[in-house]
Structure 1
């Protein structure tokens, strides 16, 4: 695929995301819709971040204008309560605030970052409790939290010169690695609870794992001058995860929604997140060059799931903590904002594999 073809494909996926609605009529479980693009939740936050990455890669100002209008509309309607998941849109807002200098955007970033530091509930070992809309999840750590909240906290630390925010972001990465890593495989369990001290169903869930693969490479971009020892530790976790993913990749290029269960369905959003993180990690020298083959194979598989209208198929609906592995196997498939956004992120990385066309003199 040449650069122009990739850009055209990304345009389709991004445009579809901007107008996504509940096309299947799925009965939603989240109190705030995570399917529609016009609401403020984690799914839309991932969508906004994907769009912003594409804007930064291509300079398409119409995408930036859409993002600014999205935030203006939601701010005007009133924002939801603060929690781990509703924090996710703030990551993109922090970039727009820095780019535009708008005080209303900057003020919101200050307010929400301060809430994380001072008021967000903590578990034992001071981990961020995975509070979501409608559920406190007392004593629980989830692998989603790093992408949904901690990336923004690190960004706020850089934006406002707050070393305490950056230090807290480091602690959260270390705490989550401590409690969620499966030492047998190098993969991540979906969650841990201090109320009973267990990993629930011990699910090695694909999209949950991809929040680390995709998140850690961007976290390292955000913090820039991270202590070398901490950086090595985070990358060791990524390398262990990537080695397991290499072994478990389906022959068609995707990964199963339960990574170690070949009878569970293959799933696109997690695959796109893995492809993005792996391709970027190879480009930056974090992973060995052999993983380029793994990332490319996954990217081609994701591209095959993109429909003519830009809708990405084979995407699982939002997935709460499962008590059994069957809870994950039964999650329905439905077009989702993050199901569009993770392929957009992936395609922005695929673009970097293709050189800019030479200008004729």
Structure 2
């Protein structure tokens, strides 16, 4: 059984730190770095103790609450070292020599000092930092000496190495800041704990964490009155900060690049520019308070830049739970959720945040809760089955440990466990009585069981917890023996309440060791490149042709991507065997195969089919016959007419293409921009909307820009895609009934719509953002629903004519397994994404 990463990490830390090999002592008053670090002969500096330490050692700073005028450098610190700070304060300042001052007139004094690092300047007056406003504005000029107020100062260079510090007033209790950082790291460090330590008056940061320092834990620390940050994590560092206080700095904290920081029970107040600043990385703030004022910005998060040889954009991710925004008086500045940021907040935080106010960038995502709910299907009474998801990824399968708990109906029950290390999922109602794996057609038979079983497969959890009820035991037994939705095996636990009111869980063993885990299978699916997926699909689909559009589309992809095929031979044979013109819409669209052959026999076939839209005198009909009143006909007919115009040069085909489109729109286009499948019912069938989006995309590829109808085609396509964009779910999918999210997430419609979006971005019909995000999310959703064998597809709607009622569309079978229609659409999308990413590399 796999142990969750977050539990394993905690376990390893516990094992590593239970019994320190030895204690090393540092004493600022009695120590000497030439000593051995014993209690009798302590070191003088913390840095010397770090160099002497071995894995598991403890470093103790003495005397308690002493001031150390030094930097604590953790570079090279062994794994598992503990540093007990005992309330010690690291200080970057040095007392100024009372006898080195030169007295000037008007109570002014000056002293000659070395030039400071970073050309930053802090004077400590009676224990408090004076920065002359230069922390908020580093370019601010110092006032003239005669304009100084008591306690203020002026710095001016003498040469490149020294300068004059001029102060007005008493010089008896002044310190000058000379050191850069308080506690600092770089390089690779693992699992170090720091307790009860303060850092003040440094030219850069109180706590400055660089490199690849992972598993650093800080308890009861304070970073205050530093020129830059109280605490700052960079690069790929990972830090936990519990009971931290940060005030009087330029920024309370500023974590950047790909750093991961998790703050718990912290207090941020009276900083100068930002209380909290995140530029890239993954972060959380729990049970903490941020003081909001008219001077500083309470919190700002936006994307940053990664470090290393390849500097790329680093998205920013933040989780906030039980965070208070205190407003002591005056109108506070707003919180800023900037570019490329994703923020998840719980209800309490949201209520407090509303009082302060916030701005959200167009590219930012703000979810006002740590979890969201969504329907995954319907039960036997046609009521939605609602799932909840919270924690790390909140959408597609990421690397986080994923738990499904069928005994937790209210996600608030696990809110304390939601963090960027794991996902939690469940249902808002108890499991229904059902047999698993479910029998019958999905979803018209045993709808609840099918919905839960297939949802489990696509979510691909690491662990599933089920209650010890008859319903739970039925599911647990099936999960021991079968991979849900043919994805992979999951770890199963039964849960039972104990006498103390807690829960006891019992792991159940797998009975199918020959099947990959759901996690591994799903990650492998998602990580496939377009080339890999196209190759897998091509091995199973696109090997036959009997005149159908399904077979035509698959063969077209193989021809375009130069995958081995016998498309030409199949096309010629079909014409020989079945020379008559098509008698159904699917066969009209099957003629698209002939667009791939620049030969007379193929062109003649295309023109003969296109001419079906005209009478015996060559005059246009009101539309192409055999449309069957279905929105499918936008795809079945318009591309063929446009291609006929291209190869013949005759405008009549372009004109008839537009005429047919408008005819079908008058019949099927709803006021909200979606297509009803047919006039029999208002239902916006999934594939009945995928067909128009895909059909207009193909049509525009053959319709000249100079033709009068071109702009109308673009407007029709983009307006339809805009309407569709409102109905894409968090996993990238469009549904069997587009505007009914409790219908199943449908495979083919998502393929066609995603294809259309990709092409529209490339052609400039749609802006790159936010449409590229919709495209990539749709692409990931489709990849997750194709087995590694390139054969098994998830929830492909079976062939569907016009239906009489909404319920009829709900009940159309969702195929799990091999399906030629789904295979053709998947090939199309894989081909499109291959072209997309190939062009992106150019």
TM-score tier, shorter chain, comes to 0.7 to 0.9
Q: Which structure 2 residue ranges, 5 or more long, are not aligned?
A: 1-524
Match among 573, 576, 583 for residue 76 of structure 1:
576
Match among 814, 821, 824 for residue 333 of structure 1:
814
* Partners of 2:731 and 2:606 in 1: CA distance: 42
The answer to whether structure 1 residue 322 and structure 2 residue 823 are counterparts is no
- How far has the Cα of 1:39 moved from its partner? 2.3
The answer to whether structure 1 residue 177 and structure 2 residue 665 are counterparts is yes
- CA-based RMSD: 2.8
The answer to whether structure 1 residue 187 and structure 2 residue 674 are counterparts is yes
The answer to whether structure 1 residue 309 and structure 2 residue 789 are counterparts is yes
Map Cα deviations across residues 257-287 of structure 1 (whole Å, 9 max, x no partner): 1011112111111000010001110111111
Match among 729, 741, 753 for residue 262 of structure 1:
741
Determine if contact 1:3/1:351 at 8 Å carries over to the other structure. no
Residue in structure 1 matched with residue 37 of structure 2 by the alignment: none
The answer to whether structure 1 residue 41 and structure 2 residue 548 are counterparts is yes
Determine if contact 2:639/2:695 at 8 Å carries over to the other structure. yes
- How far has the Cα of 1:327 moved from its partner? 1.1
- How far has the Cα of 1:358 moved from its partner? 8.1
Determine if contact 1:88/1:148 at 8 Å carries over to the other structure. yes
Where 1:313 maps in the other structure, the secondary structure is: strand
The 3 A distance-change label for structure 1 pair 286 and 158 is: same
The 3 A distance-change label for structure 1 pair 179 and 344 is: same
* Partners of 2:664 and 2:724 in 1: CA distance: 19
Residue in structure 2 matched with residue 247 of structure 1 by the alignment: 726
Residue in structure 1 matched with residue 604 of structure 2 by the alignment: 107
The answer to whether structure 1 residue 127 and structure 2 residue 623 are counterparts is yes
* Partners of 1:160 and 1:255 in 2: CA distance: 37
Higher mean C-alpha deviation, range 151-160 or range 107-116: 107-116
The answer to whether structure 1 residue 233 and structure 2 residue 730 are counterparts is no
Determine if contact 1:143/1:188 at 8 Å carries over to the other structure. yes
- How far has the Cα of 1:331 moved from its partner? 1.2
- How far has the Cα of 1:11 moved from its partner? 1.6
* Partners of 2:750 and 2:756 in 1: CA distance: 10
The 3 A distance-change label for structure 1 pair 234 and 104 is: closer
The answer to whether structure 1 residue 94 and structure 2 residue 595 are counterparts is yes
* Partners of 2:683 and 2:558 in 1: CA distance: 30
- How far has the Cα of 1:316 moved from its partner? 0.9
- How far has the Cα of 1:221 moved from its partner? 1.3
The answer to whether structure 1 residue 354 and structure 2 residue 354 are counterparts is no
* Partners of 2:840 and 2:703 in 1: CA distance: 32
Map Cα deviations across residues 293-339 of structure 1 (whole Å, 9 max, x no partner): 11110111001111122123321111100100111111113343231
* Partners of 1:148 and 1:209 in 2: CA distance: 13
Map Cα deviations across residues 72-111 of structure 1 (whole Å, 9 max, x no partner): 3323332465232211121220331x2xx2x332332333
Return the index of the structure with the highest Cα Rg.
2
* Partners of 1:282 and 1:259 in 2: CA distance: 22
Match among 639, 642, 648 for residue 160 of structure 1:
648
Determine if contact 1:130/1:142 at 8 Å carries over to the other structure. no
Of Structure 1 and Structure 2, the greater helix share is in: 1
Determine if contact 1:186/1:244 at 8 Å carries over to the other structure. yes
Where 2:781 maps in the other structure, the secondary structure is: helix
Map Cα deviations across residues 164-195 of structure 1 (whole Å, 9 max, x no partner): 12211121122222332111x2111112xxxx
Map Cα deviations across residues 324-357 of structure 1 (whole Å, 9 max, x no partner): 0111111113343231122222122212332469
* Partners of 1:357 and 1:235 in 2: CA distance: 23
Map Cα deviations across residues 118-154 of structure 1 (whole Å, 9 max, x no partner): 37xx99x8133435xxxxx4xxx22111211221122
Map Cα deviations across residues 9-56 of structure 1 (whole Å, 9 max, x no partner): 11211221124xxxxxxxxxxxxxxxxx4422233233334434xx2x
The 3 A distance-change label for structure 1 pair 112 and 356 is: closer
* Partners of 1:88 and 1:296 in 2: CA distance: 28
* Partners of 2:603 and 2:720 in 1: CA distance: 36
Residue in structure 1 matched with residue 138 of structure 2 by the alignment: none
Where 1:62 maps in the other structure, the secondary structure is: coil
Determine if contact 1:50/1:342 at 8 Å carries over to the other structure. no
* Partners of 1:186 and 1:112 in 2: CA distance: 30
- How far has the Cα of 1:71 moved from its partner? 0.9
Q: Within 5 Å, which residues of 2 pair with 1:60-71? A: 60=562, 62-63=564-565, 66-71=566-571
* Partners of 2:563 and 2:662 in 1: CA distance: 37
The 3 A distance-change label for structure 1 pair 210 and 286 is: same
Higher mean C-alpha deviation, range 78-87 or range 202-211: 78-87
Structure 1-normalised TM-score?
Answer: 0.78
- How far has the Cα of 1:69 moved from its partner? 1.9
- How far has the Cα of 1:67 moved from its partner? 1.0
Q: Which structure 1 residue ranges, 5 or more long, are not aligned?
A: 20-36, 132-136, 192-198
Determine if contact 2:623/2:656 at 8 Å carries over to the other structure. no
